[in-house]
Structure formats: structure tokens, C-alpha cells
Structure 1
Amino acid sequence: MGRNTRKRRMPLATKAIAGVAALALGGGGLVWANFYASAHEENSPDNRTKSNAARQIATIDCPDVGQQLSDVPERARGEVDGELASMDQQITDAYQRLVTTRQAQAGDAQYVQNAILGPLKDRRKVLIDRIKLEIDRAGGKAPGNLDELAPCSGRPADQPQPTDGQNGGGQNGDGQGQDNGQGQGDGQGQGEGQTPNDNGNGAAGPFAEDFIDINDVPPNARDLPNGLAANGRSGSRGSFTTKCGVNENKLYNSDNIIVAPGVANGAHHMHDYVGNQSNSSLSSDDDLVVAETSCQNQGDKSSYFWPVLRVQDGTQEFDAADQGGGAEGNVGRILQAEEAQLRFVGNKRSKVVAIPKLMRIITGDAKAFTNGLKNANTSYSCTGFEDRQSTDKYVLCPEGSRLVRTSNFQSCWDGQNTDSANHRDHVAFVQADGSCPNGFKAIPQLQVRLVYDVPTPTIENGQVKNPYAVDSFPEQLHKPITDHNDFINVMDESLMNKVVRCINQGKKCT
């Protein structure tokens, strides 16, 4: 029996949000007001507006309830996932109110708390109560601190530091290094009726401070024990590459089949899909197993998907007025990767076992800007410079070099579950010595390397023109640290056995 009941659920307040978005649409995308102040300019005499802007908040920071739900009975997970998706919609609603009420905020210091954050807390509390009830009804026990996660706060757009993320619950044993960038820019605040300082993008970010020249990224600064080094000189040294194209079929949607099955627009951003061609919130396990595939080896019907990459150049894409697209700040021309390398490698210390069929794995964190950096994983580089990897900045590549976007997945499995309530606890990254945590088994590590021909943005006087950015939840401001990658294993048994055999025997197979 497939895991999806095929009841497509629309998150709370979607119609209201669409109405707000329609009022605010400009140039095919939602025009987002941004309020930032650069710390080094805050006290300059000609920067009163920016100083005032610093006292206003740029986005909404809510504890990630889903990451705290590590023990949800299987029969309650569908309903719990639906409530969590509705909670995401509430945050989107509150964020859109935040950016369309700046004049009211300027006239009332308590406006954000009284009109936005307070009501948001009350609405979140209702959903948290439902989640607790659903878990209890299914024979489980909800965490005792869930009520504490109802309040949200406002935050400026400074980049979260590696010590952030206490609200989100982290991936165990990830050992991620970071680039410690200083983060967000110094756009000038505007009131209602004024043109927001969005650098002409029609979106809240990215800004100049979200970019770094690849030459300024230190070589080998990001030590990833879960990266290429996992395929070491001992243990299982082989690899298997599956060729599934670059989404020539233009299969896109803003659903999230892993986190929000059955929910329309559960991701609030558009995804690229390769491999399995039956990817939507309504797809059941049975649908995935019998689907068509874009992979050359027809035994691989796995689903590989990631947020689309766009150039914010004013292009009116097919989704320019849609939820998940322009109506939620994801604007501009969608870029198709020139290369999409999907490679499975081994473990530095041991042989690998087969990945269970229909296993779900998410790497990276779509909410890393507000959750903190603990689960941030995808990195950016340039061809010819791939010893330099940046997680918290988009990179500027020199002429003749192409953008490289890399995700190395968790490669240890708990030996029992194909998914978990928070979609993380059933898998783990290798430890510093390359071994799996106690009780976990080594599985083939999926490494996704995407290569794009991206026009290099120009930056002048602190402004970026035609930037590229990943699609994101609206309140995540298109930060590079929110990039992530998703995988559902739908290889047939024969092919998976070949993958394991190639890796364990030290062969390079396709």
C-alpha cells in the first residue's frame, strides 16, 4: 500500500496570502521591502535612514517544530506533516504582512509584536495542540516542550553564526565547516507606497553581501568528513554513477513529497526533478515504483530533486504569478544545469550495504537562515577552483569558469527505518574518522554535482545587478545556506545490488 492517501491538502491561509500577493505584485514578482543596516555604517551622519531601518526587523524567525518531533507514530505522521505544512504557511502569511505594513510599523513601535508576532503565536499554538493530540491518539508521546516553540521573533538580516540553531535540532555527527561570512546587506528601509530597495530584483535578496569572489574563498577551508574523503583508500573504494539528465523534461513543482506529502505548494519554492517522473505531493510509493524515469538505466526510478536556480533578471517565467514562484518572491529566469552528476561512493572504513527501497534522505536545510547553520550542507564553487567551497556565500566565478553546486548526502543508516518523523534521525553523516555512529550501517553516499553557465552578477557601490539565487521559503531571503537536496531511492533490487558490488569491489561503474 502506498504511503500517500492522495488527499491533496491546501495549507491554511493560502487564499488570503494569494490576495496579498496579488496586491503587491510588481514586474511578475512580489515586491519585497527590505530593512537592513550595515554595522560599519550605522553611526555615519548621512545614514539616519539605515540606522532607523536597523531597528525594524527584516524577517520572521520561528522555531522549527518539525525538527523536534523525533518520535511520531507512523499512523500519525500524515496528519502531523499536514499541520507542519500549515505552520509553514502561517509563517509565509506573517512574513508577507511584515513586508507590506512598513508604514504602520514606522508609526507604532509595538505594531509588529501586536499585529503580526502575537497573532502568529496564537495560530501556531492551535496547530501545536493539534499535533500533540494526533501523536497522543496514535499511542505516542509528544515532547513536553512543544508549547515553548509557539512564539516567533523578528530578526535583522545578519547572517546567523555557526553557534546559532538552538531551536532547530541538528543533524548528528555532520562535522560541517563554515566560511563565517558576515552576511546580509545594507538595503535602505522604505514605507508603504515607496519603492523598496530590492536592487531591482523584485525579491528579498540576495544582496551584494551574499556573494564572494571565488579567489577570496580559502582553499580547503571547508573540511567535510562526509564529502569526497569518505571514498577513502581503505573500506569501500568504488563508485557508481547514474545518468539521469538535467531535467530536459522541465518537470517542476513547488510540492515537497518528503516533508509535506499531500500538501499543495508544501515547499513554497520550485524544485528541479530528474529521475522519477511521478513527483508531486500526491505521488504514493506505488506511483513512484511504476513511474517513468529520465535515467538511462531504467532500473533507476529514484527521485532526485533540488531547488531551482534562477537569475533575477526580470524574466517572466511560467510561474511568475504563482504560489511557490513569483507570488512568493521566487522570481527570474530558471537556469537548467549543463551537467548533473549523480554519483554513489563508498565508506572510508567499511563495506557498504544496500540502501533500502523508498528510503528518503534530505541533506541541507531549507530553513537554515532562521534555524541556524547546523544542517547547512550544500556548497558553491567554480570549475577550476573546486578546492574552494563556500556554504554561506554565493560565489563569483571568473570568465571561462562555470558555477558548481555540490551536495554530499548522509551515508550512515540506522538499519531499520526508511524515513523518520523529522526526516533526519534515520540517517547520519560519518564521524571524523570516516566511520558510522554506533548502531548505524554504511550505505552508498550520494554525491550530487550540478554545473551551471551563470552570468556573473555585477556588484557596484554595494548593489548587485542580475544576481543568481536558489529558490527559498519567502522568509529565508534566498540565502545560499538554505540550499538543500532531496533523494528517494527507487532503484530496483538488481541495480542496487550492482551499486553495492561496484563500490565494495573498488570498481567505477555506470
Structure 2
Amino acid sequence: MGLVFVAAALVVPQWMSPRPGADYVEIADAPYAPALPAARAYTWSCGRNEEGHRNTANLVVAPRVVGPSHHVHEYVGNLSTDVDSTDDTLARAATSCANGDRSTYYWPVLRTGARAGESAHGEIAEPVAVTLTAFGSPAGPVVAMPRRLRGAVGDANTATTPAGQATRAWTCSGTPERRTDRYPLCGRGQRVVRVFDFPSCWDGRRLDSDNHRAHLVFPAADGACAAGTFAVPRLRISVEYPRPDGDRFAIDAFPPQRNSPRTDHAFFVNLMPEPLMAQVVRCLNTGDGCP
């Protein structure tokens, strides 16, 4: 498989109180995303949540705790993920992934009829496409993710507590080279796209950490991992929706965050069967066995 160029999802955050008008931008006014060095890619499908698998749980941040009704997560992959999930129950469950990947992948739902800065909740928008891609490292080979590794991108409290986690982005299907941390207003015929680029430098020891980030961090701009960390496949999840009519759409968020787009976030728990992970690593390192 040939090398592909990957556009970074990192954008310069614009910290401000979320309010109508400030949280939406015409896609033509969004900045271009800088290109990352070339890297091989392995892409697979886990469907687009045709099963309607949604709940208020957060297996990574608050296991066994029911979340608030206004913060619903959408899942692909492991079909059993819920408030009472454990690593053992997940390992035995069925999956929506065509390649047998039992990992769980999730993010807040998008609602139409809602608007950032307002309290009204709209209807859940169903994705029309979800794409999972693992990228190699331009700085050298990657090693396998360990089973049960947790990964996080973005921050649900960013609107009120900026944390420098500008690691998720919004764009439109017709202009993927432009990225923004605001809700994009896309042209007719285009789709709204959320892009989650996860960190890919593992500390080699922990499967999780207190803040769910210290054990798995982002590489430098050239793709190199810091000393003491090891490059693992870099996961990207892209979620596409039909273009909403106007600016009445927003993600579920905690009330103080007022549905700000800057609070977008996603998580994964890696439960890929070891032969499948080995295939992914072989593809990314050598180009052999790529789909």
C-alpha cells in the first residue's frame, strides 16, 4: 500500500464563552489544517451505529456511573458497552466491526434543532458514515496497542476550563482540508464531519492514567514520540452527518459548557484480537496486509 498524507486535526483554540454566533463558522472562513508527514494507513468499518447503541455511560472516565440524560454517547464497535461493562464482559461481546474488532469507540451525540448557548435539546442526528483509520508513524515503526488500553481525545469541560486539548476538529465533506474548532456551516450537498485524532505515544506501562491522558500522549509535529514513549497506531475516527439546515445543531454537553463545539471528545478501549492488531501493525510498518 502506498503512503498517504494525513491532515492534522490540531487547530488553534479560540477560548471564549460559548454563545450563539461565536460557535458557528462558514467553512470557507475556517483555516487550512497543516499536513503531517506521510504515513501508511489501515482503514476498517464498524458500521455507523445502525443498531442505535447509545447511552449516558462513560466506561473510561466514570465506570459503573450513570451519566446525565443530557449527555448521551454514541457507539460503534463493541455492542455491549454500557454502564455496567467490564473488560471481561466486553471481551465476550459481539461487535459491529466487519473485521472482528471488539474495541469500543464512542463520542457525544449530535442533535439537530439544538443550538450552542441555548438550553433546548433537539433530535439525535444519525451518522451517515463512520470511518476508522489507524496511521503509522512517519518517524519509525509502531508497536501493537496492548489490549484494554484506554484512549481519549478532546475534553468535555473545555469551554469553561481550557486545557490545551485542541485535538478534535470539525469540517465539511466538500472541504476536508479546512478544519475548525467551531461548528461548520457547510454548503448544500455537503456533510458535517467530526474528526477525532487520538494520541499515539504510549508510555509502555499503563493502560490508563488518572486524567486518562498521561499514559498516551501526542507526538511532536514531525510525528516523533518523546523519549520514554513508544509509537502505537494513531487512531482517527471520522463521523459524517447530513448537512443541517442553518446553525441549529450542537452536541450533547454538560450544562455549564452550553453545548460548545470545543467540548467535543471521544474515547476508545482497545479490545482488538491480537492477530488483528498484528495485521494492523504489519500493514503500517511494511505495507503488507493492508486492506
TM-score (normalizing by structure 2):
0.91
Q: Give the number of the structure whose alpha-carbon radius of gyration is greater.
A: 1
Q: Is this contact kept in 2: 1:330–1:472, CA < 8 A?
A: no
Choose from 281, 287, 304 the match for 2:83.
281
Equivalent runs, 1:240-255 vs 2, <5 Å: 240-255=42-57
**1:498 and 2:279 are equivalent in the alignment:** yes
- Structure-2 residue corresponding to 1:215: 28
**1:451 and 2:240 are equivalent in the alignment:** yes
Count of residue pairs brought into register by the alignment: 282
- Structure-2 residue corresponding to 1:79: none
1:360-387 CA deviation, whole Å, 9 max, x = no partner? 1010001101110511321111112111
Equivalent runs, 1:106-505 vs 2, <5 Å: 176-178=10-12, 180=14, 184-185=18-19, 207-220=20-33, 223=34, 229=36, 232-233=37-38, 237-265=39-67, 269-298=71-100, 300-312=101-113, 329=119, 331-391=121-181, 393-457=182-246, 467-505=248-286
More helix by share: 1
Letter of the 2:109 partner, please give it.
V
Secondary structure of 2:91 counterpart: helix
1:435-458 CA deviation, whole Å, 9 max, x = no partner? 101100000000011111022315
**Runs (5+) with no aligned partner, structure 1:** 1-173, 186-206, 315-327, 459-466
Asked which structure has the greater RCO (Cα within 8 Å, sep 6+), the reply is 2
- Structure-2 residue corresponding to 1:201: none
Report how far residue 427 of structure 1 moved: 0.6
- Structure-1 residue corresponding to 2:3: none
Give me the whole-angstrom Cα distance separating, in 2, the residues matched to 1:397 and 1:405.
12
Secondary structure of 1:209 counterpart: coil
Give me the whole-angstrom Cα distance separating, in 1, the residues matched to 2:232 and 2:266.
17
Give me the whole-angstrom Cα distance separating, in 1, the residues matched to 2:272 and 2:159.
34
- Structure-1 residue corresponding to 2:290: 509
Report how far residue 208 of structure 1 moved: 2.4
1:312-355 CA deviation, whole Å, 9 max, x = no partner? 269xxxxxxxxxxxxx9572111111110000010110100000
Shift of the 276–209 alpha-carbon distance from structure 1 to 2, 3 Å rule, reads same
Report how far residue 509 of structure 1 moved: 2.3
Secondary structure of 2:151 counterpart: strand
Give me the whole-angstrom Cα distance separating, in 1, the residues matched to 2:126 and 2:264.
16
Give me the whole-angstrom Cα distance separating, in 1, the residues matched to 2:174 and 2:152.
28
Q: Is this contact kept in 2: 1:411–1:430, CA < 8 A?
A: yes
Report how far residue 358 of structure 1 moved: 0.7
Letter of the 1:474 partner, please give it.
P
Report how far residue 277 of structure 1 moved: 0.9
TM-score (normalizing by structure 1):
0.53
1:397-441 CA deviation, whole Å, 9 max, x = no partner? 111111111010001100011111211110110012211011000
Q: Is this contact kept in 1: 2:90–2:102, CA < 8 A?
A: yes
Secondary structure of 1:208 counterpart: coil
Letter of the 2:215 partner, please give it.
H
Report how far residue 245 of structure 1 moved: 0.4
1:45-101 CA deviation, whole Å, 9 max, x = no partner? xxxxxxxxxxxxxxxxxxxxxxxxxxxxxxxxxxxxxxxxxxxxxxxxxxxxxxxxx
Q: Is this contact kept in 1: 2:154–2:266, CA < 8 A?
A: yes
Letter of the 2:282 partner, please give it.
R
Shift of the 410–440 alpha-carbon distance from structure 1 to 2, 3 Å rule, reads same
Give me the whole-angstrom Cα distance separating, in 1, the residues matched to 2:90 and 2:18.
40
Give me the whole-angstrom Cα distance separating, in 2, the residues matched to 1:266 and 1:331.
13
Letter of the 2:11 partner, please give it.
G
1:142-162 CA deviation, whole Å, 9 max, x = no partner? xxxxxxxxxxxxxxxxxxxxx
Secondary structure of 2:225 counterpart: coil
Letter of the 2:96 partner, please give it.
S
Q: Is this contact kept in 1: 2:73–2:107, CA < 8 A?
A: yes
RMSD, aligned α-carbons: 2.2
Report how far residue 297 of structure 1 moved: 1.3
Letter of the 2:128 partner, please give it.
E
Q: Is this contact kept in 2: 1:342–1:448, CA < 8 A?
A: yes
Identity level (%): 39
More strand by share: 2
Report how far residue 491 of structure 1 moved: 0.5
Give me the whole-angstrom Cα distance separating, in 2, the residues matched to 1:398 and 1:412.
36
Report how far residue 262 of structure 1 moved: 1.1
Give me the whole-angstrom Cα distance separating, in 2, the residues matched to 1:374 and 1:313.
26
Secondary structure of 2:66 counterpart: coil
Q: Is this contact kept in 1: 2:114–2:250, CA < 8 A?
A: no
Q: Is this contact kept in 1: 2:188–2:243, CA < 8 A?
A: no
**Runs (5+) with no aligned partner, structure 2:** 1-7
- Structure-1 residue corresponding to 2:5: none
Secondary structure of 2:105 counterpart: strand
